[in-house]
Structure 1
């Protein structure tokens, strides 16, 4: 395929090496395409995880980043007060080096390196259903999804089989069952909580979290550099065992084995180039992050997977006579409809009983409670639309007596305390046209790229949903007989949940959307966007497994179009 006489020409270019970019690269390479992956950050290879084997006492300040360093480098990244630590700070962008503007607060959490957030993602994997894909149409919100569950179901099967998702089948219509490995079982307290909640609220199901961890390893299926999960729960440091799914351990190694992959790190994509004669994208303009050299690469097809915000920013900066407002932006929707899930709400309490029950290991997931409101007429709410789900866990409270030292302190510390159970509510955010990101062309970053500016916020529907989410959390703890119940509702800004999406949405009409049902740009047919930018609504479920399914589906479609001479 590739033209050996043109060293900067490839069959395909993938912009971004994270969860969806890595999957696009693997699918293209295994289909025979000479593929260039462009990553704006540094090279990181599997196993290059500097804190992966360190214990807490090996880290400065017991894993806490100093106040001085936080104020200097992580003022925005650390607004959550838990995200930046000694063991993971090398994966997180420094705000003073990577600035952005805010008309409304937006906590844009990201890291520039090969693998992107696939190194430190939460790994929760839940399918969407037609409750999600049909919601916009039924409610008259935004635009209709151009696909339904039947369109993506076989691709969920495909990616889950390769990724390796541990979970427990529950037969729920709001989160369809998938191709599961054996689950990390609920611990004794979590199982007791499941049973108590089911007795009082049978529509509220407490199930083991569905996570991209290999509880069972099959080298013929789980290819790459992978192995079984060791239950160390140090996942955001990078997994040297390849037990959880990441670009480093899974997709990029498979792509490399084909001999068709070229990765160029430290490559800041400035714009996608457009050829008005062919009415297609011709390639990509790149700035070398170290030397400042400007380079151009050409390709037959381009997959844009830089993340929802970064992908939209590249499109908006790709201006030409044909597209003065950004590549493929005749609808004017690029950058708009910015969504994220919202949290900062939930409840916790002390769960009585189980004092003589123990569990072993540090499993990388707790429990999940899928959405149970507004899924049918029986669960319909009058105060808000859409819904919420919960992630939580139950853990022992360690005895920490005051005034004891030596053997007496040691003896007390080793006595098990009661179980503490807590849950965080994750709510859906509607796709408001007014919520957006845009480029400030009067300000540039160190590479000369216009500064990204955010103007998005939670609105009335989200606030009403939050109130009910907290109320239901308390109800479930009460049903389990918990004591010392406390709740919280501190609204986070968009971005904080790290599930940003929607800036180049899919749709049926080119006048109101950017992509068609195949994630293909309406206006530029050889450009595909399969990261979070493509999402038409946000659902309540963690979205990454959906990005991967859409990516595999889009590559398959592009390949068939090329074979048929249509692309």
Structure 2
């Protein structure tokens, strides 16, 4: 066997995160010898060194020293989102992987086996028909080339495999699925639910729909998984497989078939394009442990699942005489229409009563309030387009509140006080939709290379006037709902927010109906290279206001079925 034959596979998958893990499993289970390329290090399920440690067992009480933040995490530390040592090893040291900001962009990355599936928020929702038709109805962007009915069976398929716990609400714009039993609301959350339903009949308060197993079935939930243990240390990695990740779910299944070859430390430089056959013949990779450049080849298909911005970067870097502007970029659409959800707006306060009640365990979930504006009727019509939902929850304070403001005399009175829980608190934060805008884009910078020698990205992305107008309602409605529940000392907030921080980057290689205005067709194939599929956030034509990962999984499973039928 010559060198090329040894490096040739039926399929190649780039990335091991949400989409890459699903693509690997589906291709391998269908019998394709599949090469899976991951830029970061290898982490096997269970290799989570801080998963069982308490904060006091970590250096600096679990905090990252400021000098380390400045050196290794200049982007991550701006919002403090992951600045705790228990889970920081799952995030990229972004000091070695810079980018250029024409406008501020908070890019949160995780290069390792499993990618960001080890650290995601695990909220799982479907786009509805309202979402799939919005662009066409309002004349925004381009029309989705699919409708809800095209994706609904795939939503059900991945929901069962992932194991999504939640409550069916029977709302057309908030589709239900085959859920696991929901994680119960605590008494404060149930109080909010009943109060809001009584005051605002068109608003629903539900349990978050979350990728945590509450009714594990080994025949369905394959891999290395079990029920959630209510530890709420998810960012550290879950040794129980209670929450869904590529490491606990699809990658072990793919490996068990004997059809998967996983290569870590493989930074993809470009996809190799065969102009005569108009197909992707393989990928060119830099192996980071040796510095060697290697070519891998595909007899069938290539799945690009590196995450929205990195997938765009790979397409743009895949230049050839036949594709001088980058693969799939004849129309200058690759890298455009970047979307993310905007949040950090809402309200919180104290709930009186229920002093005889508490909760057991650390539930890694709270409430979800689905969109209730701009639903197509006069009552919900607003001056801006699209809408928002809320995430939040109720909790009871502890003795730690006495550390901030000691108002009890030392001695027996203080000892008694610290044995009693504090008051109940309720808070809700809005997540709003961002409209596609062709001026929101990323481009390649060949003058600034990262630690792996790859060109870096230039970020030129900002939220617009529609998002700003929506945020005023997101703040006001949050306060009204808490008022309806009798919450006291309500504090509203509307913080500065920048794209990237929701970690829901989307739209850089969008699906569409016309190769002149989109990058992918209705099956997630690149228009002028149809054995190349892109199924991560890059494919999104609009953002909706719900967490997008379940849609990525459904698109991926659907695309693999099409790829195997077409090229297998």
TM class by shorter-chain length? over 0.9
Question: SS of the residue aligned with 2:459?
Answer: strand
Match of 1:561 among 551, 557, 566: 566
Give the CA deviation at 1:360: 1.0
Q: What do residues 396-438 of structure 1 show as CA deviations (whole Å, max 9, x unaligned)?
A: 0224331555654332112122210011110100000000111
Counterparts of 2:325 and 2:411, CA distance in 1: 69
Q: Which residue of 1 aligns with 2:396?
A: 396
For 2:278, the equivalent position in structure 1 comes to 279
* Counterparts of 1:366 and 1:112, CA distance in 2: 28
Task: Indicate the SS of the match to 1:86.
Answer: coil
* 1:163–1:406 distance in 2 versus 1, CA, 3 Å: farther
Aligned residue number for residue 69 of structure 2: 70
SS in 2 for 1:554: helix
Task: Give 1:363 shift.
Answer: 0.9
Q: Which runs of 5+ in 1 are unaligned?
A: none
Extract structure 1 runs of 4+ deviating beyond 6 A.
2-5
1:422 to 427, 444, 447: 427
Specify the SS of the correspondent of 2:389: strand
Cα RMSD of the aligned pairs, angstroms, is 1.4
Question: Aligned-pair distance for 1:68?
Answer: 1.1
- 1:147: which partner in 2? 146
Determine the structure 1 residue equivalent to 2:342. 342
- Counterpart residue number, 1:305: 305
Cα distance change, pair 379–116 in 1 and its aligned pair in 2 (3 A): farther
1:3 touches 1:10 (CA, 8 Å); kept in 2? Answer: no
Return the alpha-carbon distance in structure 2 between the equivalents of residues 456 and 375 of structure 1.
Answer: 28
Aligned equivalent of 2:492, options 475, 487, 493: 487
Residue 450 of structure 1 and its aligned partner are, at CA, apart by: 1.3
Mapped partners of 1:200, 1:5: distance in 2: 68
* Residue in 1 that maps onto 2:198: 199
For structure 2, the residue ranges without an aligned partner over 5 or more in a row are none
Q: CA deviation at 1:562?
A: 2.1
The separation in 2 between residues aligned to 1:388 and 1:432, in whole angstroms, is 18
Structure 2 counterpart of 1:35:
34
Aligned counterparts of 2:416 and 2:89: Cα–Cα separation in 1: 38
Alignment partner, residue 164 of structure 2: 165
Tell me the distance in 2 between the aligned counterparts of 1:391 and 1:79: 23
Question: What is the deviation of 1:84?
Answer: 2.1
Q: Which residue of 2 aligns with 1:24?
A: 23
* 2:499 aligned counterpart, secondary structure: coil
Does residue 456 of the first structure (1) align with residue 455 of the second (2)?
A: no
Counterpart residue number, 2:475:
470
Deviation of residue 229 (structure 1)? 0.7
Native 8 Å contact 2:374 2:382 kept in 1 = no
Q: CA deviation digits over 1:367-408, x for unaligned, max 9?
A: 000010011223443421000110001000224331555654
For 1:202 and 1:57, the matched residues in 2 are separated by 46
1:544 maps onto 2:549 in alignment: yes
Aligned to 1:50: 49
Q: Residues of 2 paired with 1:104 and 1:521: CA distance?
A: 29
Partner of 1:437: 442
Residues 84-93 or 366-375, more deviating = 84-93
Contact 1:372 1:379 survives alignment (8 Å): no
**Partner Cα distance (2:4, 2:457) in 1:** 38
1:502 aligns with 2:507: yes
Q: Is the 8 A contact 2:4 2:296 kept in 1?
A: no
Cα distance change of structure 1 residues 382 and 229 upon mapping to structure 2, 3 Å threshold: closer
Secondary structure of 2:561's partner?
A: helix
Determine helix, strand or coil for the equivalent of 2:415: helix
CA distance in 1 between counterparts of 2:477 and 2:326 reads 44
User: Offset at 1:291?
Assistant: 1.3
C-alpha distance in structure 2 between counterparts of 1:279 and 1:359, whole Å: 59
1: distance between equivalents of 2:285 and 2:395? 48
Give yes or no for the alignment of 1:522 onto 2:521.
no
- TM-score, normalised by the number of residues in structure 2: 0.97
Confirm or deny that 1:330 pairs with 2:335. no
Tell me how far 1:550 sits from its aligned partner.
0.3
Q: What per-residue deviation string (whole Å, max 9, x for no partner) do you get for residues 130-166 of structure 1? A: 1100000000000000000000000001001111000
Give 1:5 deviation, angstroms.
7.8
SS at structure 1 position matched to 2:96: coil
Aligned 8 A contact 2:531 2:567 in 1: no
- Aligned pair count reads 562
What SS does the aligned partner of 2:349 have?
strand
